[in-house]
Chain A
Amino acid sequence: MKNVLRQYRDQAGLARRVRELEAEVQECRSLNLRVAELTDLVAELLVPLAGSDDPRVVEILERYRAGVSDPAGPSPR
């Protein structure tokens, strides 16, 4: 009887795990569309904007760059 119960629990657990895994796989798949959208947006808007002579655009780009770069000056190590 215990074995039957354990088997049932294992199978129910497995079914739950499969459902969870399927949901996780779908979550990963849906990133393709998001990545494509963001890349498209950046390529189509950021690049022409960067070519602008407007000093505010340059300032924003420089500030953004500073926030994603290593610090200036000698390496901390």
Chain B
Amino acid sequence: MSTPVVIDAHVDDEGVGVRLPRGAQDRPVDLVFDEQRIGSFWLERDTVERDGGRFWAWPGPLRSHLVGRTRVALVDHASSEELYAAEVVLGEPADAEQRVVVADAQGNPLGLDKSMRLMRLFADRSAEHLDPLLDSIEDVLAALRSCGVEAFIAYGTLLGAVRQGGFIGHDSDADLGYVSAHDHPADVVRESFRLQRALVDMGYPVTRYSGLAFKIFVQESDGTRRGLDVFGGFLREGVLYLMGEVGHPFEREWIWPLGTATLEGRELPVPARPEHLLVAMYGESWRVPDPAYQFETPAGTRRRLNGWFRGTRVQREEVWDPYYARKRGRSEDRPSDFVRWVRRRERRAVTAVDVGCGTGADVAFLARHGVNAIGLDYCRRAFARKQRKLARRDLPATFRWANLTEVRSTLVTGALLAREPGPKVVLARHLADATNADGRANLLRLARMVLGGEGRLYLQVLSAPAPGGDPLGVHPIDVDGLVAQVEASGGTVVARHDLAGERPGQTDPGATPYLCRLVVQWPQ
């Protein structure tokens, strides 16, 4: 049942349908469930045409919470006028009186941020909950200052401080930025590497997002672990480039000397003329609140930032991080047919390195057979569970974080693993067909370093679309091209098996092959 107040709307299990008056100006509305603001969207921009009206589908993260009764309201963000309200029942609640709850396991209210992730938003937090975050911001700013860069609050945090002296209600995290004294992309990347090292030496865990941006994790006084994004920037030929969205004509005097602005009662560093940076970040209309703001980074800026700094997290955000976040707690991780096949051929191997080990099922299999088994993956979450389990059982298995799209990680990992006892074998199952060209080149480089001219690299890749659909994150690759790449690296493909299934014996001998196994060797 819906009772239109100002606009004609309809709410059901799929989403929100609205009929806008002819000529109505597009505007952001807040979605409210029983007094709790859930998120915001623009009536035109963020909706799609459906049945002669506009339609906004429930974002994925919200769907699992949509069971029960609630009073849904659409509120004009600027005027706070309620445009629509109705009591609705969503999903199939067991109890007819059950209310919709959008909260985390501890009962803290959650809301949608501008990227449609369900987060604890600032609007739902009390001042005492903000204190630990403010302490963390000050700690990290001080740490960066001690490393020689003058960092300031950036993006939504800067916007909130300058516009209203506090956090923006619909934001969920704090951002920091700095502008390098260097003006060449390679130099600002080196500086960023140096900063990461210095911060790690100080005891801060850091994860890198690109050559010029990283996240610092801080243990807050209330026990939560929070990540603060630090975006690097630099001035080049009159343009300020700041990760991850800015490329705008800029003056040095607009940055230095840094000034201050008040954020929730604390004085924090900001650029000398913060309004210019806010124009660069949010456009001329930065003073007008837009809870559903979408960055419209010019293509030229995106190309430059991508070309200079990005490309080291191939498929992580898109595929693997969400996959392993969902997979947590599930246990379907049996050793592959591939590892059994390799084991039958390499019974003398003392050390095995599984590159792209995922959950570590193959590493566990090898360790159970007494092999010094080492799993490498760029998604630490993937193998964390198995790592704990195998450590408890005292099996000879170790796991290391390594990223094949970072040259530094590849070379230092290769150098360290070269010291492991031989005979050695390197395995990579559906890795060459999941990474990019840089990743493939570094995989060969790593294998060659680890093997040191003894032992073999075993690869399994998809050579054609798999009959039941390709495995997650994997795409068929040109095997002849891969063989040529092996030869260019000085290696030889000593065996090639084109298969129509993981277990060749059980498949129809006439079936079309779509899997390929390669065995590679390098001379001493």
**Which of A's residues lie within 8 Å of B, judged by CB?**
22, 25-26, 28-30, 32-41, 44-45
Contact = CB atoms under 8 A, between A and B. Distances in A.
A36 B408 CA distance: 10
Interface stretch (B89-97, B170-178, B301-309, B326-334): B301-309
A23 to B, nearest CB: 10
A26 B303 contact: yes
Contact of A38 (B304, B308, B407): B407
- On chain B, which size bracket covers the interface? 20 to 34
Contacts of B189: 32-33, 36-37
Nearest to A35: B186
Contact of A37 (B184, B197, B307, B407): B407
Nearest to A41: B408
B76 to A, nearest CB: 43
Nearest to B197: A44
B303 A32 contact: no
B312 interface: yes
B185 A29 contact: yes
Contacts of B193: 36-37, 40
Nearest to B411: A41
A22 to B, nearest CB: 7
B408 A33 contact: no
A31 to B, nearest CB: 8
B211 interface: yes
Contacts of B211: 32-33, 36
Identify the 7 closest CB pairs spanning chains A and B, nearest first: A29-B307, A36-B189, A32-B185, A37-B407, A32-B186, A36-B186, A26-B307
A60 to B, nearest CB: 12
B48 to A, nearest CB: 30
A33 B308 contact: yes
A32 B407 contact: no
B412 interface: yes
Nearest to B189: A36
A44 B194 CA distance: 10
A22 B407 contact: no
Nearest to A28: B307
B407 A41 contact: yes
A25 B307 CA distance: 8
A20 to B, nearest CB: 15
Given A26-B307, A29-B303, A32-B308, 20 more contacts: A29-B185, A29-B307, A29-B308, A30-B307, A32-B184, A32-B185, A33-B186, A33-B309, A34-B407, A36-B185, A36-B186, A36-B189, A36-B190, A37-B407, A38-B407, A40-B190, A40-B193, A40-B408, A41-B407, A44-B197
B124 interface: no
